[in-house]
Amino acid sequence: MNITILGAGAWGSALAIALAQRHNVLLWGRNEKMIAAASAQRENVIYLPGLHLPATLIVTADFAQAIDHVSPHANANDSLLIVASSVAGIRSLAEQLRDLPIPNIVWLCKGFEEQTRLLPHQIVRQVLGDAIPAGALSGPSFAQEVAHGMPCALAIATDHPALSERVVAAVHGGNIRVYSTDDMVGVEVGGAVKNIMAIATGIADGLNLGLNARAALITRGLAEITRLGIALGGRSETFMGLSGVGDLILTCTGDLSRNRKVGLGLARGKSLADVVAELGHVAEGVRCAAAVRALAQERGVDMPITNAVAGVLFDGDAPAAMVELLLARTPREESA
């Protein structure tokens, strides 16, 4: 299968490494200097240092070449276009793709667009319309582990059965399992809001509050994710799956989690600006928190952990005050 991956960050590069073992994969990035170095050295030094890019993997900064790789004359019936940008970049990429001969589009990003509070599938539909088969590939997956060939499981969310089958054919195999669903809202809400919960658990861990506190935050965080997801049209069972509880557990407990690192840094007294600068990568939970807080207020959804995290990130609240605020909440039924 011909596969183009637009976005040569950590996740795009990791998936390209994994899929190049079985398919004709092209990895595109907009940073010409970085891409030239990666192509020559067969290593993405910035995002995946120490990991070899297969000789069969095409690495290019030529956008026309990337689209031509999956265009109709390149056998669109056996082609897949994957966007591996951040949520902040998906709109501009979709605009570049408008009116081009693309067979389909699948994205890897997780979050809400800051200004519009739209999910990725809403952005794509707004720009490209409904005619192009589209879907979200999500689930608990650290890029470094995927690049190393370690096992993981993902979910493809789309309302196009043929695209679902194509993604499964392309990605499922080796150490990667792919499951299918048509609940795009549920999958995307789970993937977005879990990053906020990871910041919260990072703060708790950084304050040395213990494993009990971490478990409580993850559990109540799942309740928040589910409430918002259902309010936006998702299905409750989705949040008990890979893109819900699975991604939540990984991001809240894994040492490779960028969002958890944000919480750890804040708990240790660092400023948000310093924490983000030290990461050197996008931490979607920071961008997502303000949008989710506003959306929850607009929809009347109770999200105390999200509100507390947003208070630390944007309102100057101290991390310890966030914990006190959550502990001081009135008792209620667990299902509430």
**What residues are labeled active site?**
194
E strand or H helix at 144? helix 143-147
- Structure tokens given for 318: 């101290």
| Alpha carbon distance 158, 283 (integer Å) | 25
Let me know: does 218 contact 292? Beta carbons within 8 Å: no
**What are the backbone dihedrals phi and psi of residue 292, each rounded to the nearest 5 degrees, phi first?**
-70, -40
| Alpha carbon distance 248, 91 (integer Å) | 25
Segments in 243-303 forming alpha helices (H) = 247-253, 258-267, 272-279, 284-299
User: Of 22, 14, 18, 60, nearest to 38 (Cα)?
Assistant: 60
**Angle 295-299-303 from CA coordinates, rounded to 5°:** 70
Number of helical (H) and strand (E) elements in the chain, helices listed first:
15, 8
- Where residue 50 falls (left for φ over 0; alpha for ψ -120 to 50; beta otherwise) is left
